[in-house]
Structure 1
Amino acid sequence: MTVKNFIEILIISYVLYQILVWFKNTKAWTLLKGILFILGFFLFAAVLQLDTILWLLEKCSVIAVTAILIIFQPELRRALEQLGSQDVFGRFFQTETVTEDEEFSKKTIHELVRASFEMGKARTGALMVLERENSLMDIERTGIAVDGIVTSQLLINIFEHNTPLHDGAVVIRGNRVSAATCYLPLSENMTINKALGTRHRAAVGISESTDSVTIVVSEETGRVSAAIGGSLRILSSEEELANFLQIQMLGPETRRTGRLRDIWKRKRIR
């Protein structure tokens, strides 16, 4: 083990770490899991010596490399731009930690619930996306950075009519509003109620591609709904919304409560 080998290990480790961070912070993370599944299937076929399947996979591999480059083209371009514009050595020594004060908390739930139903009473439309495991940095880049602590006053002011930030969605990471006026992908699900507008279709769209939780306040009816896992459901009271957010955002131990789960199923919008 020489100094040269040690330097090479450090460089390779750093490069692999940055690649994984890049995958995690983009939509490429979901695609990567699909690629890993295909590689696992390839290994399974190799162990069982399934010659026909191995031959097909080998012939498709050349096309797959080109397809990956095309699919990842926006992310690759953005990664190269960031590499050229940022201080690489500064990032190497930077330590990123999340303090307890920055984590999603019951106080954040209280502020979200209060803001949602106050905007509902005033018929103010709102769209709030809560980040969980899947990164929403791609969505953030479509909006304007805010980086403010979640409070009901801040959210109400953002979505107030005729204000510069009211159009679009806000992204919430932990207890902070990361960005506003963000654009969300619209769902192509044809079974969604046709009476629902673009705001609700956008909430379902982001819930289909990520594990996020999205709160929607209808401008027409003042009704508060939540989208998760590609489905949209009504939460008709502050207690229901608070319990739902606690179940979805504050860890697996709260997911065992069954009362809200039954309410959640009954309130689904057809």
Structure 2
Amino acid sequence: MDGERGGAGTPEPAAWSRRRSPWVLATMALLGVLTLLVLLWAGTGLSDRDWVRVIGGVVLALLLGSTVGFLAISGTRGSGAAPQPGSWPDGVEGVRFDYSTATYCWFSLLVAGCVLVLLGGGVAVGSVFGVLMIALAALLGWYLMVVLWRAPGGLLVSPSGIAHRGLTNFYSVPWHVVRGVEARDLGTSALVVKADPSPQSVLRRYTGWFDTGELRYLPFLVVRTYWLAADREVVRSVLAFYLAHPERRGELATQDAVRRIAEGRTRD
């Protein structure tokens, strides 16, 4: 039942083992070069005391550089951070796999860079188009504030079911409607909990339909694995283990589950 020990060295499912697209790598390289060139251009403004060029260059470099960072981290399988016993405000106790702080930082920098570029562009352009740019900047700024207010996101596995606290939403499904757990490639690697519709499922949207897209797969529960601090294969094996062993789910509210996961005993 307990099986072999798993971890970061465990072979991954085929859907997660594909090499990164050459186009993505080329884009990252191009944006990296552009970031350096923009910083050099901004640096020339120091000698001329051209503060518009300096500030504009730094903001543009922030946007380009954070895009490179976010693309780089979106291809990782997780740092192997250990799960912790935890709960969310509704009081449900379980094992919690938190989102990665590094991914939060890169994403926040990326959105903040977009906000600043749009604000600067809107002020410089003026007219109706400029007003639209400022309005979009305000919308993105509000979205970022909600993301930071909701942080940290994560996945909670409890005796009653599986809950995903996303960037701007919350979705949970009870165990009895879960039909399977799959590793999928949805543009990036994703963990898919195949669930049937249920009145016991809970869905909350905090930014309306303005979200990161996982909810379009409802009633399935989808987590983009680059958000998780824990190794994605470990998380998949935990979900698959407790789906296959309902008699063990009660331990999810205790330290026993944390020990089982740490010892790699969720791999059949």
State TM-score, norm by structure 2: 0.32
- Pick the structure with more strand per residue: 2
* Greater RCO structure (CA 8 Å; 6+ sep): 2
Normalising by structure 1, what TM-score? 0.32
